[in-house]
Structure 1
């Protein structure tokens, strides 16, 4: 009897069962998770006009000037998405700086990853 049941189960999974893949897991996603996935997808689709590449010295100079005078800045990272489009710019006040990093909007950005830093007046 156990062998017949085992054979029946094996036959079912080998010939009749159709895995629904990701569809069966969608019900387990939390609303916060799905909204984060949507936002991530929007950020990846969004494309900015490429700004001219700046030297690290010019980036530091602009960042120090903006930090000292409480100006907002717009930072464009030197990264692209899978379609070679520029990601969304980051705007706000510079919170802090170090030799290798700029802190803005609760983010730590490596200076080497920044394409341009423009001061907004």
Structure 2
């Protein structure tokens, strides 16, 4: 059995009885995907705000860690001396040293000037 609808009745309902409040119905609460994105952004911002440097290393110590990491092909975490526009410490770069040219090393396809390294740590 198929039910048929009355076009006149639908038109009358839409014209006279139904009032769509539009965006008013969405104001005042967030959808769950919006709240999860906002929570993730807040968590990332909190990590960036409280990030600290590793212990400062001398140029000699940095060179020793770089040399040993290249020879043993171990992973490293590079803590840069740079900061972002807001004065926050940049996230460390982690990976294998895949190249070394003059005064730069390459970690995760990123060229890093050795003099910009604050500290470097081998990951065993």
Q: TM-score range by the shorter chain?
A: 0.5 to 0.7
TM-score, length-scaled by structure 1: 0.59
Unaligned runs of 5+ residues in structure 2 are 1-43
Q: Please show how residues 33-72 of structure 1 align to structure 2 within 5 Å.
A: 46-47=48-49, 48-72=51-75
Q: For 1:54 and 1:101, how far apart are their aligned partners in 2?
A: 17
Tell me the residue number matched to 2:119.
116
Q: For 1:73 and 1:54, how far apart are their aligned partners in 2?
A: 14
TM-score, length-scaled by structure 2: 0.57
When structure 1 is superposed on structure 2, of 79-88 and 53-62 the one drifting more is: 79-88
Tell me the residue number matched to 1:83.
86
Count of residues paired in the alignment: 79
**More helix per residue: 1 or 2?**
1
Query: For the pair shown, which has the larger CA radius of gyration, 1 or 2?
Result: 2
Unaligned runs of 5+ residues in structure 1 are 1-41
Which SS does the other structure have where 1:46 is aligned?
Answer: helix
